[in-house]
Amino acid sequence: MLISLTVAVDVLKPIVPCSLLSLSMVPFASCAIVIGGASWIVPSHIAQKLDNMLYKSYMRLCLFVFENLSGVEITVYGSKEVLNKSGAPENALLVSNHQSNVDWIIPVMLAARHGDGGNEQAFRVMVKNSIHLVPMFGWYIFQHGYIYVRRFGEFIGAPVLRQLNWLNQSMPPYWLLIFPEGTRLTAKKKKLVKSSNQFLESNGRQPMQNVLCPRSGGLQLALDNLSTLDAIYDVTVMYGQMRVPERRGMAPGMFDFCCGPQTFKHLHIHLNRIPIEQVPKEKLSLRNWTIDRFVEKDRIIDEFYSDSPEGGTPLPCVPISQTLPSTLFFSAALLAPFFSRTIGRIYLLTIASSPLLIAWLHIRKCV
């Protein structure tokens, strides 16, 4: 009996955090729709402030799961001045390697330690177009300034430029995350690595094993249209689990990261702050500069695999006092329908509105 219970708990362990994050999107979207409706009545800066508060609350729920609950150790190398709790936060582009569906939470971890009171509300991502089809989430993130880009087919620039212009004029600050590789690199994608290296070699470059050849198109659009940028944060992410024998190139997924064994659960983040004045904007120069940054990432990751990383600064876990209020709020919001039929109906209407919200994105030519 005890063994069966232990096995059941182990099986259910990943389901709890996953369910908390995904189901919380229903009350989150319900609140977002109300704020969106209010934006037609109240001044835009008030609606945006309410939206930032809501989004920041959800990001702190994510931090509760990915930091407090997971128990991950975090070590940062390089430009530690980014993790400065005093002073005004910066407007920044974050350029990162891409290995896992966990990569997006790394900038949120950094943002929680940047500026007075944290900067989680600033986080946005340049994401693939297909994500707009995710019920509720796909609609909301566009409202908050995420940018949809097409990986395949004809590039449609109007919605991208509109979003960049909105970010440039919105209530500061903003952090825009870009994955120049365009897709996740795993050990299984050998053909992708081969084609990437063939392109590099045809352009007189050395092949790379830990990253793909980056594309600079998204970065070029951002630099051309975001006049309020302060810096680029060059982020290289390395997962301790990938140092396990025979696991090189196999980054942990969400379940493994949050609920896997604590052995090797160590996040290594190499951070380099580059003032925007030092970043070239001419197309060919920027392309070469971007490739140079990924050559450096390839070297950093190679050293991570071959040697024990040194010189980093361990980061204490984000305080539970910072994440627990949001977690309790969304937990209470999920329990509310059991005590109020009205709230239950509101949630059902929110879920039922998902096709209309997706249709709205297409009608407004947002994707």
Distance separating alpha carbons of residues 121 and 111, to the nearest angstrom: 8
Residue 144 burial by Cβ neighbours in a 10 Å radius (0-12, 13-18, 19+): middle
CA 175, 22, 270, 210: dihedral to nearest 10 degrees? -110
E strand or H helix at 258, and its extent?
helix 254-259
pLDDT for 5: 42
Q: Is 163 exposed, middle or buried (CB count within 10 Å of its CB: 0-12, 13-18, 19+)? A: buried
Q: Could you give the CA distance from residue 199 to residue 206 in angstroms, rounded to a whole number?
A: 10
Q: Which two tokens stand for residue 54?
A: 């809501």
* Of 108, 24, 9, the residue nearest 66 (C-alpha): 108
pLDDT of residue 79: 82
One-letter-per-residue 3-state SS of 139-199? HHHHHCCCEEECCCCCCCHHHHHHHHHHHHHCCCCCEEEECCCCCCCCCCCHHHHHHHHHH
The whole-number pLDDT of residue 152 equals 65
pLDDT value, residue 104: 94
Neighbours of 78 (CB within 10 A): 19
Neighbours of 245 (CB within 10 A): 5
Amino acid at 196: S
How many other CB atoms sit within 10 Å of the CB of residue 284?
A: 9
pLDDT digits (tens), the chain, 367 positions: 545 544 444 445 556 677 888 899 999 999 999 998 888 888 888 989 999 999 999 999 999 999 998 889 999 998 888 887 677 789 999 999 999 989 999 999 999 998 788 899 999 999 998 899 999 999 999 999 999 988 766 666 788 999 999 999 887 789 999 999 988 887 778 888 888 989 888 888 899 989 999 999 999 999 999 999 999 999 999 998 888 877 787 888 888 888 777 778 889 999 999 999 999 999 999 999 999 999 999 999 988 887 777 778 899 999 999 999 999 999 999 999 999 999 999 999 999 999 999 999 999 888 8
Task: Count Cβ neighbours within 10 Å for each residue of 291-313 and write b for 16 or more, e otherwise.
Answer: bebbbebbebbeebeeeebeeee
pLDDT of residue 154: 62
Cβ–Cβ under 8 Å, residues 162 and 111: no
